[in-house]
Amino acid sequence: MDPKLDRRSFLRQSLSSGLLGCSAAASPLITPVTFANLPDGLAGENRLVVIILRGAMDGLDVVRPVGDPDFAGLRSTIDDGQERLPLDGFYDLHPALKPLMPLWQAGQLGFAHAVATPYRDKRSHFDGQDILESGVASVDGVESSGNGWLNRMLTLMPGARAETAFAVGRSQMMVLAGKAPYRTWVPNTSLDLTPHAERLLEVLYHDDPAFREAALSADAIIDALATDDPSDDVDTSSMMAEMGMEMGRGRSNRALIDTLDFTLNRLVGETRIAAFSINGWDTHGNQSNRMQNLLSQLSNAILTLKAGLGSAWNTTTVLAMTEFGRTVRENGTKGTDHGTGGAMLMAGGAVRGGRVYGDWPGLSEADLYERRDLLPTADVRSYAGYAMQGLYGVSSSDLERVVFPGLDLGVNPGIIL
């Protein structure tokens, strides 16, 4: 793969050629993974796995602030009738993450809430993901830098080597791109879609409000395909055959399985840093059904890493991060729209878990950002910095000057044991 063809350039070329939809940045079919080797003795046994959750995961649905008196009235439909998984008396966990509860109880699972990058207001998947992966606050700076924060961390470690190992759809992850050398690896996965499926992708994930009505209709179609309830009036079996979307979903799941297999193969060897993505978190409609599937994928990914790493899990940190949160209020189609503050997940034997980090801002209308979003009280980049500081000894000055230029790291809460 041409290293000059970055993810953003590829997506733009795809858009201009009609291959992908207007918000391919949120597509579940583009799933890259990257790796880095560190020289002997530089990192010891410490491993860092970064999972980018593309599409803007709803942190309020994942880690539910049930102790906030305003929460129930904002999310009555999405959360209605679901099992409660209490965490600490204030927060509940989404029931799809129930398999991770033993990790929480063992202190190997934690969260940071009310976090975001410095990106505000436009709520574009492309720009939000670029800022998350580059670690640079300015959109203009992202355009010109073309490198990621993991790669800049490696430049502080003499002898470190980085290689891009997985990119579905010829896409690269910016998070590990930069001066350190990198390569690509693509699993045996085809992205051939029927014309109907291509059209559906054009409207399913969107940044332009003009596409809202069509996108919500597409959301309903996707959920009908996923459930295939014989009581529905829609002939879902014929629609599935016509559009080929179930096949596309299967390819996405197989790609993630291949990603995890290859990731584990590298992490049990010399590799100490890995990054990949789980996509499709743009839940504008029928969020309950879609979050169940997405969070099950995330849960399975974490438990697969734990099982495959064996004793190396004890020195591993997994960070799951997303480009921005979603609106605190449900929309009219049982979903949520692009927001600001959200949540990140941290797991691993090296993590000081069993807690939700961060300062809760409240959900009353006066407390919201622009009266619609969860107000961020911390920079999500800081938590990535705390992890690098705890795992690899990166200094605060290097984190604020080189890895995340302009970041005010603040006081390290000690997320790494």
Compute the radius of gyration of the chain from its Cα atoms.
20
* Owner of token pair 């355009």: 143
- Whether 239 is in a domain gets the answer no
> Which of 37-46, 173-182, 359-368, 401-410 is predicted least confidently?
37-46
- Rounded distance, CA 177 to CA 148, Å? 5
Helix axes 245-267, 195-204, angle to 10 degrees: 70
Question: Residue 137: its pLDDT value, please?
Answer: 80
Contact 70, 364 (CB under 8 A): yes
Contact 257, 276 (CB under 8 A): no
- Whether 354 is in a domain gets the answer yes
Q: Which domain holds residue 86?
A: 7-186+252-403
Question: Residue 123: its pLDDT value, please?
Answer: 87
Question: Residue 221: its pLDDT value, please?
Answer: 44
Contact 200, 245 (CB under 8 A): yes
Q: What share of the chain in percent tops pLDDT 90? A: 50
Residue 11 pLDDT grade (very low, low, confident, very high; cuts 50, 70, 90)? very low
Question: Residue 43: its pLDDT value, please?
Answer: 56
Residue among 95, 68, 117 at smallest CA distance from 323: 117
Q: At residue 341, what are phi and psi to the nearest 5 degrees?
A: -70, 145
- Rounded distance, CA 199 to CA 197, Å? 5
- Whether 360 is in a domain gets the answer yes
Hey, what are 320's tokens? Answer: 């799951």
Question: Is the pLDDT score of 256 beyond 60?
Answer: yes
Question: Residue 2: its pLDDT value, please?
Answer: 41
- Whether 21 is in a domain gets the answer yes
- Whether 216 is in a domain gets the answer no
H or E, element range at 114: strand 109-116
What residues pair up with 63 in beta bridges, in sequence order? 93
Total number of domains in the chain = 1
Higher pLDDT residue, 166 or 220?
220
Hey, what are 107's tokens? Answer: 């202190």
Q: What is the mean pLDDT of residues 134-152?
A: 71
- Long-range pairs of 307-311 with CB within 8 A, sequence gap ≥ 24: 308/260, 308/264, 308/267, 308/268, 309/47, 309/264, 309/267, 309/268, 310/268
Residue among 114, 120, 63, 117 at smallest CA distance from 363: 114
Contact 156, 43 (CB under 8 A): no
- The pLDDT tens digits of the residues spanning 43-56 come to 568 999 999 999 99
Residue among 48, 117, 53, 21 at smallest CA distance from 280: 53
Higher pLDDT residue, 350 or 269?
350
- Whether 383 is in a domain gets the answer yes
Give CA angle at 320 (366, 272), nearest 5°.
145
- Whether 224 is in a domain gets the answer no
Higher pLDDT residue, 281 or 214?
281
Higher pLDDT residue, 5 or 78?
78
Question: Residue 207: its pLDDT value, please?
Answer: 52
- Rounded distance, CA 389 to CA 275, Å? 18
| Other Cβ atoms closer than 10 A to 193 | 20
- Rounded distance, CA 352 to CA 269, Å? 25
Hey, what are 76's tokens? Answer: 């009555």
CA distance readout (Å), 314 to 110, 116, 384, 392, 409? 15, 28, 18, 15, 26
- Whether 201 is in a domain gets the answer no
CATH number, residue 287: 3.40.720
- Rounded distance, CA 278 to CA 252, Å? 9
Question: Is the pLDDT score of 7 beyond 90?
Answer: no
Return all residues near 40 (Cβ < 8 A) that are at least 6 apart: none
Q: At residue 41, what are phi and psi to the nearest 5 degrees?
A: 85, -15
